[in-house]
A and B are shown apart, each in its own frame.
Chain A
Amino acid sequence: MSVYQSAPTLEQAAITAKDFNFWYGDFHALTGLDLNIAKNAITSFIGPSGCGKSTFLRCINRMNDLIEGTRVEGAMTLDGNDIYAEGVDPVDLRRRVGMIFQQPNPFPKSIYENVAFGPRLQGVTSKSDLDDIVEESLKRANLWKEVSNQLNKDGLALSGGQQQRLCIARVLAVQPDVLLMDEPCSAIDPTSVSKVEDLMAELAPEMTIIIVTHSMQQAARISDYTAFFLQEVAGEPATLIEYGQTDAIFTSPVDSRTEDYITGRFG
């Protein structure tokens, strides 16, 4: 059903989905997803609102487990391990798959404590280790210069863009293999957007990044691969329409629906 244009092979993949389906209660939200997500590259998920791209993203770190009545069918793997296999601990999975949300959501704690949160969960107690992690993570998130002398300030006192970078630093502090970003730039100012995009480019060589975005320009600008999702009929499940290298998808889309979407004819 889905069209593939020089999509990643199984060997290149960090994450794979095979005939993946998802239900919210009785509502069949996603159907028949087959895709390999390339290791240490940036992949963007695009599509109109309600096309299930965020839902699929939240399946990768099993955040949907927190919603009652959700159910999956089919297979999804991370580095060859079945994510949904019997007995897999979603808590452990989420330590390897970090996530950035649309709305910056720092904890109502100090900047330092926000970044130290993850390492503390993993049992890091030494003050010097924590200091190192906090400093390096904030530097990696390009926030260190702005906050280095006010680490005890409440994270919520920062501007929206700074909050989002704090959230990124918070994730980097646990060095996940995969970084999921759910429209990370839609609630922050343009200057911060470019800072976040630069950061993604810096991280990509060592981290598998998946970003859900509404901005076609952003997808074209930063991602190596692009996946287009669509729910054609309201009430019916959404699915993957076209997937492959970003250049190919944007310059020569095969499916007419993909072309309509990226040229702005709907959505």
Chain B
Amino acid sequence: MSDSVDTTVDATSSRELIKRALSHGKKGRINKDLSNKIMLGVFRAAAYITTLVLLAIIAYVVINGLPHISLDFIFGWPQGVNAEGGIWPTIVSTIYVTALAMLICTPVAVLAAVYLAEYAKQGKIVDIIRYAADALASVPSIVMGLFGYALFVEAMGLGLSMVSAALALALLMLPIVMRTTEEAIRAVPRYIRWGAYGLGATKWQVVSKIVLPSAFGRIATGIVLAIGRAIGETAVVLYTMGQAINLPISPLDSGRPMTVHLYLLANDGINMNAAYGTALLLMVIILAFNLFARYLSRKRR
């Protein structure tokens, strides 16, 4: 490029120069329209494939599972080599462990989020906490299972039990609930806080009476999503809850959750019908929770 002085640009010559340079461009109209059409088609295809796969999975599980769902199947006790009959104890185990995990996780996660959103000053400590939460969220579930086994089952002597599995699941849910709660708290408009401070409320009063209630809907959405995640988890509970068919009463009882039951049924291949039925029930429960979460977040708007 010449470094010519440009205090007085000759408008016409400049225009001519640009036009001449432009005229050297190849006319690629057909090419351009064609590539546009093709590429938009490719993107459309990608989206449709994704959607079709989802529908295929759901349809497949529903079609094969529905004929085997009955009251006996849901509320019955397994028979034979645990492949015949019903799956009631596994449903109870799943509900039991998920509820326990939620009770353990929610208070800690919410208070942690309150700290991050309301109290913490940006700095090293907060950076470390956030990194830890992200790392926790991405720990492979089998590693969480190993850890749960080493700490809760063996070191703490809780054995293969509801509470061991619930503690491990709670760790898995913690970052999910923490993040959604923090986002929920941050979404509460500042002027609402100012209003409360203006009336002489202490920080805790503002947080507990104003901020958390206003953020409740979004927090609930996060908790429901985390529950969905916990119900579907297999690798974490495989070696923390055990695999015994058992109707858990005390938190120290062991049991077999639906996911593990499905895994064992599919692996043994003795009664695939029961596997389809279990898969369908599991999917319905989880989709119900996810839809409920969507409903909660929709209602908020």
Contacts and interface: CB of A to CB of B under 8 A. Distances in A.
The reply to whether A and B meet directly (CB within 8 Å) is yes
Contacts of A126: 24
Contacts of B2: 135
A133 B21 CA distance: 7
B11 A123 contact: no
Contact of A136 (B14, B27, B28): B14
Given A123-B28, A136-B14, A175 B19 contact: yes
Given A123-B28, A202-B11, A135 B1 contact: yes
B18 A137 contact: yes
A140 B19 contact: no
B6 A133 contact: no
A123 B25 contact: yes
B1 A131 contact: yes
Contacts of A125: 25-26
Given A123-B27, A144-B6, A139 B22 contact: no
Given A135-B1, A206-B11, A124 B24 contact: yes
A41 interface: no
B18 A173 contact: yes
Given A123-B28, A124-B24, A139 B9 contact: yes
A78 to B, nearest CB: 18
B17 interface: yes
B14 to A, nearest CB: 5
Interface string A188-228: 00000000000000110110000000000000000000000
Nearest to B5: A145
Contacts of B28: 123
A109 B276 CA distance: 53
Interface in A205-253: 205-206
B3 interface: yes
Contact of A140 (B3, B11, B25, B29): B11
A136 B18 contact: yes
A133 B11 contact: no
A187 B15 CA distance: 28
Q: Tell me which of B1, B2, B19, B26 has the highest count of chain A C-beta atoms within 10 A of its own C-beta.
A: B1
Q: Main SS of chain B's interface residues?
A: helix
B9 A132 contact: no
Given A139-B14, A140-B11, A129 B21 contact: yes
Contacts of A205: 11
A172 interface: yes
Q: Main SS of chain A's interface residues?
A: helix
A139 B1 CA distance: 12
A140 B9 contact: yes
Contact of B6 (A131, A134, A139): A139
User: Chain A, interface size: which category?
Assistant: 20 to 34
A112 to B, nearest CB: 10
Contacts of A119: 21-22, 25
Nearest to B17: A136
Contact of A148 (B3, B17, B18, B22): B3
A174 interface: yes
B275 to A, nearest CB: 45
Contacts of A174: 22
B1 to A, nearest CB: 5
Interface string A9-51: 0000000000000000000000000000000000000000000
A58 B62 CA distance: 50
A130 B25 CA distance: 10
Contacts of B18: 132-133, 136-137, 172-173, 175
A131 B27 CA distance: 20
Nearest to A122: B25
Interface string A158-181: 000000000000001111000000
Interface in A97-145: 119, 122-126, 129-137, 139-140, 144-145
A134 B27 CA distance: 20
A144 B1 CA distance: 12
A65 B21 CA distance: 31
B282 to A, nearest CB: 39
A206 B15 contact: yes
Given A89-B33, A148-B3, A203-B11, 5 more contacts: A119-B21, A123-B25, A132-B18, A136-B14, A173-B18
15 contacts: A89-B33, A124-B25, A129-B25, A130-B21, A133-B18, A134-B1, A135-B2, A136-B14, A136-B17, A140-B9, A140-B15, A148-B1, A172-B18, A175-B19, A206-B11
Enumerate the 3 nearest inter-chain pairs by beta-carbon distance, A residue then B residue, closest first: A123-B25, A123-B26, A124-B25
